[in-house]
Amino acid sequence: MKINELVTNFEIWTTNEERSLLKKLSSPVKISQLSEQDQFKVQTLIRKSLVTKIGMDDPSVVANEKTI
């Protein structure tokens, strides 16, 4: 039996707060414009590969990779 047959639905677990933040990030946003709490959530979403950070100087832009 193949792994694809066993796993029919692959989902990355997110909290309700992370889900609402993902909806807000439908367009690119500067990280510095977010609140400190949202910046922490964004870092978590980056580790989960749901959000991509663009730019080296002044970690500038966050773009939503996957809409939930």
Distance CA 59, CA 68 (A): 24
Cβ within 8 Å of residue 26, ≥6 positions away = 64, 67
pLDDT tens for 42-55 read: 999 989 888 888 88
pLDDT category at 40 given cuts 50, 70, 90 is very high
pLDDT over 70 at 67, yes or no: no
